[in-house]
Each structure stands twice: as C-alpha cells, then as structure tokens.
Amino acid sequence: MIKVAGIPALNAAETIGPVIRRARLYVDFVIVVDDGSIDETASVSFQAGAIVVKHKNNLGYGAALRSVFLAAKKIGAEVLVIIDSDGQHNPDEIPTVLKPVVSRTADISIGSRFLNNDRKVPIYRVFGIKLLNLATVFLGANVSDSQSGFRAYSKAAINQVRPSINGMAAGSEILIRASYAGLQIAEVPISCTYDSNSSSQNSILHGLSVLRALFIYSISDHENESNELLDNSQKL
C-alpha cells in the first residue's frame, strides 16, 4: 500500500524540516506544496526529502490541498495523510490518523482535537471551531473537529472530493462533499500544540472568512462542478 503525506505550506521554512523528516518514518513519500512562500520553504523541504510542488503565487490552503491531491494521485497514493507545516501536529500520530483508512473502515479520518481529555485548544478557538462545526453540520457533515488539518484520505476520497474553495474553508468543503458522496468519515483523537507561531492569520478573521466561504459555497450552483475543478487544477 503506497502511503503519502501531504503538507500545504506557506512560509514554513523554520518548522517544516523536522515535520517532513519525522513523517518520512511512516509514509513512502512526502509531498510539500509551497504556496508562494517568500522564505526558504521549498529548499528546506527538498533537503528534508520531500517532493516539492510550487505555486508561483499564494493561492490559499484549499488550492494547495488541491495540488497535494493531484500530486498524490499522480504518484499512485493509496492513502494520503495531510499534516500542518507549522509543527502543531505530532507526526508520530500519523499511524493513528491513517488507521481507519488503512484498515478500510473509513474513507476520511479526521484527527480531532476534541476527543481526548487533555486538550490544549485555547478557549476562544474552541468557540470558533464549534461555530464552524455547526455550519459544517448544517451543510451535511457532522464531526467534532471540522477545522482539523490533520487528516487521512483513501484513494476514493482523493479521487472524489477535491476542493473547489481556495482558502481555509476547503477543509469543511471536503467533509460536505464527502458526506454527499456517501463516503465514510471517522475521527480519532490527536494532540495539538499552540504557541505564538501556530497561526498565520488572526483567528477571528480566519473564522469569519471560513464562514463567509461556506455561505457562498452553500448558495452556489454545484452543477458542472467536476469540469470546473478540472479547469482550476490545470491552471495551477
């Protein structure tokens, strides 16, 4: 079974090296999508042993995920685990997150920050995440951590649920699409650390932009979507 890790990254040169090196212990290939970074993210990633896909400009987290999915498909990934570039996730938990997908009990496995008792999520974030969970549930996917970046996908999920949203709301969009496609979603407990460098944006603005994108997604017409997605991906 070909296992691949994918890391969407923006200006992560200081943190991504150890994430890649540790992730390589658990997967066959690591793909980094450097989304228009202005630092050494690409060269640090290459030196750490990753396959590097570069976007000329910053297109957003969802666009980077789309490129991860495309690259994973090209190299024949049978399972794909996505992990953040900023060191907030523990790569030693990759086997835990992969397990439901590897054992074929689910097509998507979410590493949830809300399933263990010693969670360290700051309280204002808990509020925001719960609100975004509600929006995601409302649109069809009922999970405890709709905003987690630490997830695993089966081959069916890689092929069927490529996101159309370019920004952070792509995480929710994938779950909504997966639910509609009848894919099974599982959640497993993960740890997650927080420090002053753990966020690239103000969390209130981040939350509001996700809500806004989900609202626009919910009222937009999803007919001919697969064609649009193909067009988008060719532009990358």
Ligand X SMILES: Nc1nc2c(ncn2[C@@H]2O[C@H](COP(=O)(O)OP(=O)(O)O)[C@@H](O)[C@H]2O)c(=O)[nH]1
Q: Are 56 and 35 in contact (CB under 8 A)?
A: no
Q: What are the start-end ranges of the H helices in the chain?
A: 16-23, 41-47, 61-74, 94-102, 123-138, 155-160, 170-180, 203-219, 225-235
CA 81 to each of CA 8, 84, 126: distance values in angstroms, whole numbers, following the listed order = 11, 10, 24
Q: What is the largest CA-CA distance in the chain?
A: 45
Single residue of 149, 163, 189, 207 touching ligand X by CB under 6 A: 149
Q: Does 91 bind ligand X (CB under 6 A)?
A: no
**Residue 190 interacts with, from Mg ion, ligand X, none (CB under 5-8 Å by kind):** none
Single residue of 86, 93, 145, 187 touching Mg ion by CB under 5 A: 86
**Residue 12 interacts with, from Mg ion, ligand X, none (CB under 5-8 Å by kind):** ligand X
CB atoms within 10 A of CB 207: 21
Structure token digits, residue 13: 């040169």
Q: Does 85 bind Mg ion (CB under 5 A)?
A: no
Complex with ligand X: residue 7 or 102, whichever CB lies closer: 7
Q: Are 55 and 63 in contact (CB under 8 A)?
A: yes
Single residue of 58, 90, 144, 198 touching Mg ion by CB under 5 A: 198
Part in contact with ligand X (CB under 6 A); list of ranges 80-88, 137-145, 179-187, 224-232: 80-88
CB of 39 to ligand X, least distance (A): 11
Complex with Mg ion: residue 88 or 179, whichever CB lies closer: 88
Structure token digits, residue 217: 């997604």
Chain positions contacting ligand X, by CB under 6 A: 8-10, 12, 33, 35, 58, 60-61, 64, 84-86, 88, 149, 198-201
